[in-house]
Amino acid sequence: MKIGIDCRTILNPEKGEAAGVGHYTYQLVRHLLEVDKDNFYVLFFDRGVANRRLSKFEEDNVEIKFFPFVQYRKFLPQSYSNFLASALLAKEKLDVFHSPTADLPSSYSYPSIITIHDLAVYKFPELYSEKERKMLYSNTSSAVKQAEKIITVSQSTKKDIQDIFSVKSENIKLIYHGVDKRFFRQVPSGEIEKVKTRLGIGANYVLFLGTIDSRKNVFRIVESYERLRDKLIELPQASQAEEQSSINHLLSKYQLVLAGKPGNQYDQIFERINDSKYKDDILLPGYIDPEDLDPLFQGAKFFIFPSLYEGFGLPILEAMANGVPVITSNISSMPEIARGHAILVDPFNVSEIAQAMSDLLTDTHLWHDLSKSGRERAKEFSWEDTAKETIKFYYQASERKTSSLVLPSERG
């Protein structure tokens, strides 16, 4: 087969993408090229990365192409930009074209696959501007109708696709993300301390990693942390006054680290933190470089991720791979990914979140059990398996042939 993949979400090919759709595309393509030497791949990048090193993608069965006139796209009508992209793809006579996002050139009529990671815009439309909503609604609905097949990343998101678009189950393939093998390495304590010092983190902390926005439930994370520090939680294991005092002292030693890029309502979140009496212990280090992720995870007491909605929830597995216990939500895809190896909480219940935080700080047996079992759960997800399942699906999607589509056996 001749397989085309839209790689325009890969903006940092030298280091790889740390998060989001770019991370998925980067890892998928890298592992496809590792496990598949039989098919031929055409990788389509933005012209903006042409001067960066693309050596990681250079193989005998790979050709790298660049979408035309990308630098002028904002000046071109959408229809014309789509026409140019479709013409480039059609010229390649691909057996199947894979867009890792819910977006396809509207006039492209050959077999194609899209990946839908989540449908957050349909679940939380208020978090998007009117312009963003219109664009996402239009692109997603068009791509769903146009695509031969759809890959999705969780059973939860598959159900959302079927509920919203009434797509037949046989046209949707659930293929989980993998976990990068580097997350399983043991980081030397000195490396952890260097990263903590660089980011201004104290001796003890609990960690959130993700976009700093309202969908990630950051407001309630802050409030839960305040309750923890206010010692308003019932601690049944603390039966005596001295023991209660000792535990409360322990809880007060932990900082809250909210790591990630600013997102929706970031200004309000920043103001909320600035108004907190514990603001000096609530840190916002910003975007974390990929090489700092392991030390940051392994230095944390636990990982807190009570998101309101996730298409998959990769940070859950990355924390587990690092041996860090996880608190996450009991809704959306998160129970599916954690599968009994994390503390599940109602993300709308601040008291429940705070109590879970207290439990992990005070119950040594619970901490060790989740650290060990979570690590084993993360081992069940590999990018090699993701790549192999995706190749099988490419063959299914390419079964529809048209007179203008050249079959592999017909090529010289």
* Domains of the chain by residue range: 2-178+382-402, 181-378
**Beta partners for 96?**
3
φ and ψ at residue 175, rounded to 5 degrees: -130, 110
Q: Domain 181-378 carries which CATH code?
A: 3.40.50.2000
Two domains, one topology: 2-178+382-402 and 181-378: yes
pLDDT, block means (10 residues), the chain with 412 residues: 94 73 94 97 86 84 83 49 83 96 91 97 92 94 96 97 95 96 94 96 94 96 95 54 60 89 95 97 94 96 98 97 98 97 98 96 96 98 98 88 36 34
Per-residue confidence (pLDDT) for residue 302, from 0 to 100: 98
Give the end-to-end CA distance of the chain in Å, rounded to a whole number: 13
Task: For residue 112, give the nearest of 407, 392, 398 by alpha carbon.
Answer: 398
CATH class (in words) of the domain with range 2-178+382-402? alpha beta
Residues 301 and 189: beta-carbon distance below 8 Å: no
Per-residue confidence (pLDDT) for residue 373, from 0 to 100: 98
Per-residue confidence (pLDDT) for residue 81, from 0 to 100: 66
Query: Sign (positive/negative) of CA torsion 249, 223, 234, 341?
Result: negative
Q: Cα–Cα distance between 331 and 308 in angstroms, integer?
A: 7
Task: Name the token pair of 399.
Answer: 């079964």
Residues 269 and 214: beta-carbon distance below 8 Å: yes
